[in-house]
């Protein structure tokens, strides 16, 4: 098979054969003597028709028949006719001034596009003073002569436009007048353009003023080529004054400008002036930095990044080393990254780049969730009232603050809380001495409080006891020996190492002069070498490895066998206007047959004494009276009363009988 080429060629000016070239088709090989396959000849005045389609040998028909409609379309509409050159701008005769400048402008069109050139006396122009400047892909040319020399340059100049279809010419005459022979109306440049520097996008105005008779017409040349303001979409305007105004100036506007004044007397060029368009060179910088965002799992977010500079930078997004913005879609200045269905936290990088540099900014997208448990706390220091702990955050993402929960390990104790802790070290104060505590830490973020860490158990340090021993009780077992019993302090503040019993027959002496009896690992002791029938005052304290605790209240005991000991826990109960309730703890000594109660109804009143059996006693006082009371226990065999147990003066207001507790 060989290519079928259909050719039509038009030569209307000769009246000869017309042919047009169209797309090749496939056809069977033909003998060398046969006419070209698909060649169609048309005579002047004859039109083509479907019946005149190019014919081939029979093997070509299967190819031509399916494409008949397409071929017809190509013949009628798809083929473009070629044409010889014709002038669209012809040069005009000019009268120049000796030493000056003239320019002849010539431009043509045709198919294919013609080439324009200049001749002088049938030969190509060739001179250092005569220059040809091509434009419009050589379909236009300016013949510029500078400086003019008379009579050498006075001549007829020929513009030639030619293509494969033909050639056309046009002539222009140049006349030159000496400066001293110029006519009065010859154009003169009164004010020519000056050197100007303008920033890109700003407006530049090149001034020009000319005079002559008649008033000359002003035109402009840039780099020796004529300026056509109508081809600039209004960006370049020639003002009525003759000035050239260039709005929104571009780098392509930079060049050498000339103002040309012409009338019937001749043409005059201004001195050239350069216009420089200054392009600010500013490295890229971010005018809107990308911001960090916190979103819920599966959420969406848009991150905006804006950069400026001169030239304006391209902006793209990256995730690690992966480009998220396709290179052929990279926007200038502003880029918005749209993220949807985000389940993992990540850092996204905005990159702005220009010929002057590359800058980057990072936006953190944090997918919010409850924080993880911190690491198990580590105890670094303990005191009697505080525990200091440190811990590891345990969270890769920042937390808002930490929460510490602690409680004593005793049954039914509840957690106490310290929150708003912004460090991973904290000292918990206000604790009880020698107490074991369970401590745990949890983290808090914008979602809420996360699960707690594994607990740590710490014991505070010891202190001296904060309270004295309780339930001090004595018993005389011989003429000079007594047994003392007591209970542990309510607040031992550590491990009690022992007790000290201070006793004396003169309670007014300083404590340092009292006799001391030390006891270890026991709540019971025997004190001997006492003076018979004398009354002793006792006080007991407990001590730890840190120091001594406070003394117990003093109690008195009379060294006499079968005499009851001082009633224990003697205290005031309910008080009314006419009565006071007194309570005490009965002695287990069954020899007590009665109690003696002594009191005064006022500080200066006479003492009152009442004796009553161990079960009950009823007694009263006047309204709002003040009483100082003391209580003694009487012996079974009437050997006498034991030591007094004194109470401070008491005001009473409620009606209640004095009532000793019942004995079991």
Query: What count of residues does the chain have?
Result: 664
Q: Residue 632: what pLDDT?
A: 58
Q: Residue 16: what pLDDT?
A: 43
Per-residue pLDDT band at 589 (split at 50, 70, 90): low
Q: Residue 121: what pLDDT?
A: 85
The more confident residue out of 204 and 35 is 204
Spell 493-511 as b/e; 16+ CB within 10 A means b: bbebeebbbbbbeeeeeee
> What residues contact 482, with CB distance under 8 A and at least 6 apart?
474, 475, 476, 526, 527, 530, 536, 557, 559
The mean pLDDT value for 449-458 works out to 94
Residue 14 has pLDDT above 60, yes or no: no
> What residues contact 209, with CB distance under 8 A and at least 6 apart?
189, 190, 191, 241, 242
The mean pLDDT value for 557-571 works out to 75
Write down the residue that tokens 């222009």 correspond to. 172
Residue 503 has pLDDT above 90, yes or no: yes
The mean pLDDT value for 494-503 works out to 94
Which two tokens mark 530? 């006492």
The Cα–Cα gap between 612 and 622 comes to 20
Residue 202 has pLDDT above 80, yes or no: yes
Q: Among 30-34, 365-369, 483-487, 528-532, which is the least confidently predicted range?
A: 30-34
Per-residue pLDDT band at 343 (split at 50, 70, 90): confident
Q: Residue 594: what pLDDT?
A: 76
The Cα–Cα gap between 40 and 75 comes to 11
Residue 352 has pLDDT above 80, yes or no: yes
- What is the CB neighbour count within 10 angstroms for residue 172? 20
Q: Among 21-30, 356-365, 530-539, which is the least confidently predicted range?
A: 21-30
The mean pLDDT value for 618-637 works out to 50
The mean pLDDT value for 419-438 works out to 94
Give the full edge-to-edge strand order of the sheet including 425-428.
378-383, 386-390, 425-428
The Cα–Cα gap between 62 and 74 comes to 19
pLDDT, the chain, mean = 82
Q: For the chain, how big is the Rg over CA atoms in Å?
A: 62
Q: Which of 342, 339, 346, 340 is nearest to 365 (CA)?
A: 346
Q: Residue 661: what pLDDT?
A: 41
Q: Residue 634: what pLDDT?
A: 53
Q: Among 219-233, 370-384, 594-608, which is the least confidently predicted range?
A: 594-608
Residue 448 has pLDDT above 70, yes or no: yes
Q: Residue 544: what pLDDT?
A: 92
């Amino acid at each position: 098979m060989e290519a079928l080429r259909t050719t039509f060629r038009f030569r209307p000016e000769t009246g000869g054969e017309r042919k047009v070239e169209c797309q090749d088709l496939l056809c069977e090989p033909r003998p060398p003597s046969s006419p070209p396959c698909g060649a169609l000849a048309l005579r002047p005045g004859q039109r083509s028709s479907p019946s005149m389609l190019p014919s081939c040998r029979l093997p070509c028909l299967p190819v031509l028949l399916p494409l008949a409609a397409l071929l017809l379309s190509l013949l009628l509409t798809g083929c473009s006719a070629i044409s010889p050159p014709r002038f669209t701008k012809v040069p005009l005769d000019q009268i120049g001034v000796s030493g000056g400048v003239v320019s002849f402008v010539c431009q043509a069109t045709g198919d294919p596009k013609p080439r324009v050139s200049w001749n002088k006396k049938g030969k190509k122009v060739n001179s250092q003073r005569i220059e040809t400047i091509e434009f419009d892909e050589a379909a236009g040319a300016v013949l510029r002569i500078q400086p003019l020399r008379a009579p050498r340059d006075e001549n007829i100049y020929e513009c030639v436009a030619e293509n494969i279809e033909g050639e056309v010419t046009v002539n222009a005459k140049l006349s030159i007048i000496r400066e001293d022979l110029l006519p009065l109306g010859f154009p003169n440049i009164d004010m020519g353009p000056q050197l100007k520097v303008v920033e890109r996008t700003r407006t530049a105005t090149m001034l020009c003023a000319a005079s002559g008779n008649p008033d000359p017409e002003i035109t402009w040349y840039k780099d020796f080529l004529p300026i056509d303001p109508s081809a600039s979409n209004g960006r370049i305007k020639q003002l009525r004054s003759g000035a050239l105004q260039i709005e929104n100036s571009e780098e392509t506007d930079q060049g050498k400008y000339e103002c040309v004044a012409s009338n019937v007397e001749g043409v005059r060029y201004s001195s050239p002036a350069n216009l420089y368009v200054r392009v600010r060179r500013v490295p890229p910088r971010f005018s809107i930095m990308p911001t960090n965002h916190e979103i819920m799992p599966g959420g969406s977010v848009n991150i905006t990044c804006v950069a400026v500079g001169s030239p304006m930078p391209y902006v793209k997004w990256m995730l690690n080393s992966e480009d998220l913005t396709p290179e052929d879609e990279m926007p200038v200045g502003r880029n918005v990254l749209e993220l949807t269905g985000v389940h993992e936290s990540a850092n996204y990088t905005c990159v702005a780049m220009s010929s002057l540099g590359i800058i980057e900014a990072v936006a953190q997208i944090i997918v919010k969730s409850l924080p993880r448990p911190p690491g198990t706390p580590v105890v670094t220091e303990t005191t009697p009232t505080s525990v200091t702990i440190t811990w590891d955050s345990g969270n890769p993402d920042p937390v808002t603050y930490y929460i510490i929960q602690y409680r004593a390990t005793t049954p039914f104790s509840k957690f106490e809380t310290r929150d708003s802790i912004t460090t991973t070290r904290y000292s918990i104060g206000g604790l009880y001495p020698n107490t074991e505590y369970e401590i745990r830490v949890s983290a808090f973020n914008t979602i809420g409080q996360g699960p707690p860490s594994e607990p740590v158990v710490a014991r505070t340090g010891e202190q001296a006891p904060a309270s004295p021993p309780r339930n001090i009780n004595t018993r005389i077992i011989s003429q000079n020996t007594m047994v003392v019993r007591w209970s542990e302090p309510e607040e031992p503040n550590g491990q009690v190492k022992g007790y000290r019993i201070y006793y004396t027959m003169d309670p007014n002496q300083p404590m340092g002069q009292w006799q001391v009896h030390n006891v270890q690992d026991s709540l019971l002791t025997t004190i001997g070498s006492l003076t018979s029938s004398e009354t002793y005052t006792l006080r007991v304290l407990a001590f730890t490895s840190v120091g001594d605790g406070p003394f117990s209240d003093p109690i008195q005991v009379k060294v006499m066998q079968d005499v009851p000991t001082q009633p224990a826990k003697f205290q005031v109960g309910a008080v009314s206007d006419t009565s006071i309730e007194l309570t005490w703890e009965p002695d287990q000594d069954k020899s007590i047959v009665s109690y003696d109660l002594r009191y005064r109804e006022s500080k200066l009143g006479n003492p009152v004494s009442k004796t009553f059996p161990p079960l009950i006693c009823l007694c009263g006082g006047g309204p709002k009276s003040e009483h100082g009371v003391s209580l003694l226990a009487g012996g079974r065999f009437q050997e006498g009363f034991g030591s007094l147990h004194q109470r401070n003066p008491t005001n009473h207001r409620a009606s209640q009988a004095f009532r000793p507790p019942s004995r079991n």
